[in-house]
Amino acid sequence: MLRGLIRKSVFLGSAVVAMFYLSSGEVFSQSLEQEATVEENIPTEEGLTVKFVSTDLEGAAEALANAKSYTVNLQIQDRSFPNGGGSVPEVKVSAIHNGENIFFGIQWSDATKNDRAIKHEQFRDAVGLMFPLGIVKISPETPFSPRMGDRGKTVNIWHWKADWERDLLADGGYEHMEDQYPNMFTDFDFDPNPIPDNKAAHESAELMSGGYSAGSLLSQARGRSVEDLNAVGFGTLTAQEHQDVEGTGAWIDGTWDVIVYRPLSTPDANDVQFVPGKSTFFNMAVWNGEDGDRNGLKSVSIRWRPITIESAR
Ligand code: CA
Ligand code: CA
């Protein structure tokens, strides 16, 4: 009885609050909660130079190790609900190209290797690189959100994920519930040669598994550890049809060392294109799974940074 009354009071209270906000013109969504500051629309003066190095794929890691690194300072994501993160103060990035591919070397300190996200309380370590799509001018007069882009101001995001990296080493290219819970019981038979009783269920897997049937990157072996995405503001992050970014990462003695790379140009209209001799902008975010970072809970840079692609020789 008492519990029922409390529930009713909470419901009515929520309804009154909702009506107040609706009538006051406030919008319930994951959109911009505060106006961007002027500073956010002024790119930093110093940027990253992508040196031309005549190297093949195998030599890229060494070339990156020899390249000058650039430090991106990070802070808590404080603009869009759910706010959070902020435990990673900085990330170092270096970049080279060989006239065909562009390579980014990324390092940050992280005391914990979080490369599995199967249990509901497990979250992954990850890093994101973001670029504006097309040729843009960024200034207080021509604002372009350094957070997730904006309507009509699309960004291309490359998201390396530690658990996707681990998936590459798993049997079949994808970790399953049984990897986390080896003694789990399931009444669904994953055996490809099921006993006759379970045959119908096994053969209807595609009908029963929506994500798998739709070809979602989250539901299948994807053979890569970087996701190629677009966004036009908070709450709009979308996986691309054409995945073009490759990567590899390792956690050694408290440091993540990640390389992501892609052809300088691609035939995908949703991708950033890099032209030797030209400049664009980039921005970064880092997630520490140990601290519960995921989605908008992350350490972010709130300024665009110039990135210049050196001419090929
Ligand atoms: Ca971690
Ligand atoms: Ca793409």
Same domain, 39 and 145: yes
Where does the pLDDT of residue 197 fall: very low under 50, low under 70, confident under 90, or very high at 90 and above? low
Q: Bridge-partner residues for 50, per DSSP?
A: 309
**Could you tell me if 102 and 309 are in contact, meaning their C-beta atoms sit under 8 angstroms apart?**
yes
**Is residue 11 pLDDT above 60, yes or no?**
no
Q: Cis omega (within 30 of 0) on the bond before 132?
A: no
Q: Domain of residue 142: give its range.
A: 31-174+221-309
Please tell me the number of the ligand nearest to residue 266's CA.
2
Same domain, 12 and 130: no
pLDDT at 33: 55
Where does the pLDDT of residue 109 fall: very low under 50, low under 70, confident under 90, or very high at 90 and above? very high
pLDDT at 26: 37
Same domain, 275 and 151: yes
pLDDT at 37: 84
pLDDT digits (tens, 9 = 90+) for 67-80: 999 999 999 999 88
Please tell me the number of the ligand nearest to residue 227's CA.
2
pLDDT at 36: 75
Same domain, 234 and 212: no
pLDDT digits (tens, 9 = 90+) for 215-256: 888 888 999 999 999 999 999 999 999 999 999 999 999 999
Same domain, 5 and 73: no
> How many Å apart are CA 122 and CA 141, to the nearest integer?
42
- Distance (Å) from CA 298 to ligand 1 centroid: 12
Give residue for tokens 């529930």: 7
Same domain, 159 and 267: yes
Please tell me the number of the ligand nearest to residue 229's CA.
2
Average pLDDT over residues 6-21: 39
Same domain, 200 and 289: no
Please tell me the number of the ligand nearest to residue 273's CA.
2
pLDDT digits (tens, 9 = 90+) for 40-64: 999 999 999 999 999 999 999 999 9
**Is residue 5 pLDDT above 50, yes or no?**
no
Q: In the chain, what is the straight-line distance between the N-terminal and C-terminal CA atoms, in Å? A: 80
Average pLDDT over residues 160-183: 93
Where does the pLDDT of residue 195 fall: very low under 50, low under 70, confident under 90, or very high at 90 and above? low
Please tell me the number of the ligand nearest to residue 226's CA.
2
- Distance (Å) from CA 244 to ligand 2 centroid: 5
pLDDT at 198: 65
Please tell me the number of the ligand nearest to residue 291's CA.
1
- Distance (Å) from CA 251 to ligand 1 centroid: 9
What tokens were used for 190? 């994953």
pLDDT digits (tens, 9 = 90+) for 257-287: 999 999 999 999 999 999 999 999 999 999 9
Where does the pLDDT of residue 172 fall: very low under 50, low under 70, confident under 90, or very high at 90 and above? confident
pLDDT at 219: 83
Report the domain count for the chain.
3
- Distance (Å) from CA 115 to ligand 1 centroid: 8
- Distance (Å) from CA 241 to ligand 2 centroid: 7
> How many Å apart are CA 291 and CA 285, to the nearest integer?
15
Q: What is the percent of the chain with per-residue pLDDT over 70, rounded to a whole number?
A: 83
- Distance (Å) from CA 201 to ligand 1 centroid: 38
Question: Which stretch of 18-22, 39-43, 82-86, 159-163 has the lowest confidence by average pLDDT?
Answer: 18-22
**Could you tell me if 266 and 273 are in contact, meaning their C-beta atoms sit under 8 angstroms apart?**
yes
Where does the pLDDT of residue 10 fall: very low under 50, low under 70, confident under 90, or very high at 90 and above? very low
Q: What is the percent of the chain with per-residue pLDDT over 90, rounded to a whole number?
A: 71
Please tell me the number of the ligand nearest to residue 112's CA.
1
- Distance (Å) from CA 281 to ligand 2 centroid: 18
pLDDT at 211: 82
Per-residue burial over 211-249, b if 16 or more Cβ lie within 10 Å, else e, is eeeeeebeeeebebbbbbbbbbbbebbeebeebbbbbbb
Kindly list the distances between the CA atom of residue 45 and the CA atoms of 33, 281, 303, in Å, as whole numbers in the listed order.
Answer: 27, 11, 10
HEC profile of the chain: CHHHHHHHHHHHHHHHHHHHHHHCCCCCCCCCCCCCCHHHHCCCCCCEEEEECCCCCCCHHHHHHHCCCEEEECEEECCCCCCECCCCCEEEEEEEECCCEEEEEEEEECCCCCCCCCCCCCCCCEEEEEEECCCCCCCCCCCCCCCCCECCECEEEEEEEHHHHHHCCCHHHCCCHHHHCCCCCCCCCCCCCCCHHHHHHHHCHHHHCHHHHCCCHHHCCCCCCEEEEEECCCCCCEECCCCCCEEEEEEECCEEEEEEEEECCCCCCCCCCCCCCCEEEEEEEEECHHHCCECCECEECCCCEEEEECCCC
Same domain, 44 and 192: no
- Distance (Å) from CA 68 to ligand 2 centroid: 27
Same domain, 58 and 86: yes
pLDDT at 180: 94
**Is residue 13 pLDDT above 70, yes or no?**
no
CB atoms within 10 A of CB 63: 19
Same domain, 301 and 208: no
What tokens were used for 285? 């975010």
Please tell me the number of the ligand nearest to residue 270's CA.
2
Where does the pLDDT of residue 29 fall: very low under 50, low under 70, confident under 90, or very high at 90 and above? very low
Residue 313, C-beta contacts closer than 8 angstroms, at least 6 positions apart: 52, 54
Q: In CATH, what number is assigned to the domain containing residue 114?
A: 2.60.40.1190
- Distance (Å) from CA 247 to ligand 2 centroid: 14
- Distance (Å) from CA 70 to ligand 2 centroid: 25
Kindly list the distances between the CA atom of residue 31 and the CA atoms of 105, 123, 145, in Å, as whole numbers in the listed order.
Answer: 32, 24, 12
Same domain, 194 and 296: no
Same domain, 141 and 65: yes
